[in-house]
Chain A
Amino acid sequence: MSLQLPLWLQYALVGVVVAASLWIFLKKQLPGTVRRLRIAIATPLVRDGRPAWMRRLARQVAPPPSGGASACGGCDNCGPSSEPKRH
């Protein structure tokens, strides 16, 4: 039995996967550019007088504090990991 989705839905799902892939590619290969883009998008949203939801959105969009990020498509092994180890 095969699952046949409507063509528009198939293209929509493909679009989502492609957009996510493009985002991953840009984050890995052009992290500096992506970081500047996120800052540029977030900055106007936190100006005085903006509603609370807009400020919350800005915090989601803004990049985390820089930790010497580099265009490394490699080990993803930078910075502090997971939860603190309990002894």
Chain B
Amino acid sequence: MSAQAEPLRLALLGNPNSGKTALFNLLTGSRQKVANYAGVTVERKEGRLQSPSGKSYAVLDLPGAYSLNPASLDEAITRDLCRGFYPGEAAPDVLVCVVDATNLRLHLRFVLEVRQMGKPMIVALNMSDAAQRRGIAIDRATLERELGVPVVETVAVRHHGARALVERIDRLAAHLHLPTVQLAEDADLHAETRRLLAAAVSMPSRTAKIDDALDRWLLHPLFGLLTLAVVMFLIFQAVYAWATPLMDLIDAGTAALGEWVGARMGEGPLASLVVDGIIAGLGGVIVFLPQILILFAFILALEESGYLPRAAFLLDRMMAGAGLSGRSFIPLLSSFACAIPGIMATRSIQDPRDRLATILVAPLMTCSARLPVYALLIGAFIPARQVWGGLNLQGLVLFGLYLAGILSALAVSWVMKKWRRDQGEHPLMLELPSYRLPHARDLAIGLWERGMIFLKRVGGIIFALTVLLWVLLSFPAAPADATMPAIDYSLAGRIGHALAVVFAPLGFNWQISIALIPGLAAREVVVSSLATVYALSAVDDDAATQALTPLISDGWSLATGLSLLVWFIYAPQCIATWAAIKRETGSWKTMALSAGYLFALAYLASLLTYQVAVRLGAG
């Protein structure tokens, strides 16, 4: 057996907003989320590229960096990886420096820093199509001669937009050579950047007129915030208005499948597992896929359009008042998808106390796993009607829940700020990218990824927990002289009844209590667990195939429904988030503090909600 030669290692590096991740997607076929800030790509990503000549390359997508004199952990990671100092990582053989052709004034300085490393490199002049549209004329040959490194135009959002780059990489790989131009160690890079721009670039105006016109309104301290609030509000309205027909279709399909399978399989443990466990459990979660996709379609579109950094700018003052850094915005925004990448994205926050505060409040952002739980409870207890002249009440409540999570995070971080008597200033420097129309292909890729992530979770951990819960709910079987329903004799039934003592003041019955346990592994599992519990508790086949929503709206009081909704605003994070906190902070104490304070908040808030609701007649 002969050893295969190691493929050449390429590292993509560049400023945030250079389109580095889009280029990585195009080169490798890996589906990476296209985002504008370093915090989203702080994780190491590697892919494989095969050129037309048959050569294979390993491609690394490095964290975005404004400078190799690091001001944050991810910039330090980029620098150390390029130098070959990063533990366990071989140094890249070729550096591919990705720059935004519409903003060379900022990006060229980074190219000069990378060139100082004295490694084989190529400059990818990305978004060259946008530069042409803006009337920015770049003399590529002159730039290449002045820089002393190959310069290639790319359009990362086009199907063959990296062809020239791949061909140039092939030529460079055949004979690796160092940059032919080098500056002195103490050279003035700003002056050199200006010289290069004068020699090779002519720009009609620094920013597009459209950007200026839009920013006049969207960055206005009053109108900007109003616009942001209206945009978020409309998104949540759309989530309900557009998703309902698709959800009804999935619901009907799941019920029909359960009936069909149940009719064809004789009674027995296998039929119970398939119908009451798998179909009922997974069906209860899959039904929320349309809502998740619609929500993320909007979030992706906002990211693609360049609007989100403006939102960070608008919210900076409010966040600073609550003791959070403006750099907390991106980790907290990431936490709306999942707290784990959000917590990992806090590496971009330099101040350790700000970083800790952000890590501790990130679980309060409403992650996508909570959405099925919210949707189930809102569907069961909030009437589907219009209020205040045409607003969807259910959408309004969902917006309110997300807002409650955000306000709670601000309140908790404010308390932490007072606790540590933090008087420090936390300046925020942001690059505002140009506005652009979201690219349909990147949106579609992002949505496809999000959908696949969700379905993988359904087919993976949610499936596994549903099956395990079915086992706990089905065994041991009821004794011959049983007086209670069979499920009450099962192991899960007994555990649920024991836990119900703890959760009774919150209005949680034993079914809710037992569902909270697998919910620690994945929040959506609460929905599939409830579906399984109620399917197994059903007195006959008709009742067993009923959808979960009407079952709980008939069986629970409004006070219980509201209490459970409030519980999930604050609920302790899933086990995987605990592990992420422990890993990022290196501290069991911080992890325990995070779980403890969230449990306490959730318990108290639910207790208050339930007791007040009961006294108001909703019990």
A75 vs chain B, min Cβ distance (A): 5
Whole-angstrom CA separation of A85 from B31 in the bound complex: 11
Are B453 and A77 within 8 A (Cβ)? Answer: yes
Question: Any chain A CB within 8 A of the CB of B46?
Answer: yes
Nearest chain-A residue to B574 (Cβ)? A73
Cβ–Cβ contact A25 & B464, under 8 A? yes
Q: List the A side residues contacting B31 at CB < 8 Å.
A: 81
B459 to chain A, nearest CB (A): 9
B264 with A81: CB separation less than 8 A: no
| A5 to B272 Cα, complex, angstroms | 13
- Asked whether, in the complex, the Cβ of B269 is within 8 Å of the Cβ of A79, the reply is no
Can you report 15 A-B residue pairs in the complex whose CB atoms are below 8 A from each other? A5-B266, A5-B270, A10-B268, A17-B273, A17-B467, A21-B463, A22-B468, A73-B457, A73-B461, A73-B521, A73-B575, A74-B453, A80-B46, A83-B29, A83-B48
* Residues 1-25 of chain A, each 1 if its beta carbon lies under 8 Å from chain B, else 0: 1111101001101100110111011
Q: How many Å lie between the Cα of A73 and that of B456 in the bound state?
A: 10
What CA separation (Å) do A74 and B270 show in the bound complex? 29
Residues B162 and A87 in contact, CB atoms below 8 Å apart: yes
B457: A residues at CB distance < 8 A: 73-74
**B9 touches A (CB below 8 Å):** no
Contact of A28 among B30, B163, B270, B464 (CB under 8 A): B464
Decide if A71 touches B30 in the complex (CB within 8 Å). no
- Cβ–Cβ contact A18 & B468, under 8 A: yes
Measured CB to CB, the closest approach of chain B to A41, in angstroms, equals 21
Interface residues of B (CB under 8 A from A): 27-31, 43-44, 46-52, 56, 58, 162-163, 166, 263-266, 268-270, 273, 338, 340-341, 449, 453, 456-457, 460-461, 463-468, 471, 521-522, 574-576, 579-580, 583
Question: In residues 61-75 of chain A, which contact B (Cβ within 8 Å)?
Answer: 68, 70-75
Contact yes or no, A24 B52, CB < 8 A: no
Contact B29 A85 (CB under 8 A): yes
* A81-B270 contact, Cβ under 8 Å, with A3-B264, A21-B464, A28-B464: no
Q: Which of A21, A76, A80 is B456 in contact with, Cβ under 8 Å? A: A76
In chain A, positions 32-58 with a C-beta closer than 8 Å to chain B are none
Question: How many Å from the CB of A81 to the closest CB on chain B?
Answer: 5
- Inter-chain contacts of B163 with A (CB < 8 A): 87
Q: Which residues of A contact B269 (CB under 8 A)?
A: 7, 10-11, 14
On whether the beta carbons of A85 and B270 are closer than 8 Å, the reply is: no
Q: Do A84 and B56 touch (CB < 8 A)?
A: yes
Determine the distance from Cα of A13 to Cα of B269 in the docked complex, in whole angstroms. Answer: 10
Residues of A within 8 A of B29 (CB): 81-85
CA distance A22 to B51 in the complex (A): 42
Smallest distance from the beta carbon of B345 to chain A beta carbons, Å? 14
Q: Please, which residue of chain B has its CB at the minimum distance from the CB of A79?
A: B46
Chain A residues positioned under 8 Å from B265 (CB to CB): 2-4
Contact A25 B465 (CB under 8 A): yes
Question: B344 → chain A, closest Cβ, in Å?
Answer: 9
A70 adjacent to B50 (CB under 8 Å): no
A-B contact count (CB 8 A): 132
Flag if B580 contacts A84 (CB, 8 Å). no
CA distance A75 to B576 in the complex (A): 11
A87 touches which of B43, B49, B263 (Cβ 8 Å):
B49
The B interface, classified by DSSP as helix, strand, loop or mixed, is helix
Instruction: Check if B48 sits within 8 Å of A28, measured CB to CB.
Output: no
Asked if A18 and B471 sit within 8 Å, CB to CB, the answer is yes
Cβ-based interface call for A60 (8 A): no
A13–B268 alpha-carbon span in the complex (Å): 12
Query: A74 to B269, alpha carbons, bound, how many Å?
Result: 31
Nearest-neighbour CB distance to chain B for A66, whole angstroms, equals: 9
- Which residue of the partner chain A has the closest CB to B160? A87
Q: Which residues of A contact B338 (CB under 8 A)?
A: 74-75
When the two chains form their complex, are residues A85 and B48 in contact, meaning their CB atoms are under 8 A apart?
A: yes
Given A3-B266, A5-B266, decide whether A75 and B273 contact each other with a Cβ distance below 8 A.
no
Q: A3-B264, A81-B31 are in contact. Are A13 and B270 (CB under 8 A)?
A: yes
Quick check: B273 and A24 within 8 Å, CB to CB?
no
User: Which chain B residue shows the least CB distance to A5?
Assistant: B270
Residues of B within 8 A of A10 (CB): 268-270
Partner of A70, one of B49, B264, B466, B579: B579
A23 vs B460: C-alpha distance when bound (angstroms) = 10
Of B48, B264, B465, B575, the contact of A1 (CB 8 Å cutoff): B264
For the complex of A and B, list the 3 residue pairs with the smallest distance between their C-beta atoms, beginning with the closest: A85-B29, A84-B48, A4-B266
Are B576 and A76 interface neighbours, CB within 8 A? no
In the assembled complex, the CB of A33 is this many whole angstroms from the nearest CB of chain B, namely: 12
By beta carbon, the residue of chain A nearest B470 is A18
A70 with B583: in contact, given A75-B453, A83-B48, A85-B29 (CB under 8 Å)?
yes
Further pairs besides A18-B467, A76-B456, A83-B48: 14, Cβ < 8 Å: A1-B264, A2-B265, A3-B265, A7-B268, A10-B268, A14-B270, A70-B579, A72-B576, A73-B575, A76-B460, A83-B29, A84-B47, A84-B56, A87-B162
A24 contacts B340, C-beta separation under 8 Å: no
CB A46 to nearest CB in B, in angstroms, measures 17
In the complex, A22→B456 CA distance in Å?
16
CA distance A20 to B576 in the complex (A): 20
- Hey, which chain A residues are within 8 Å of B268, CB to CB? 4-5, 7, 10
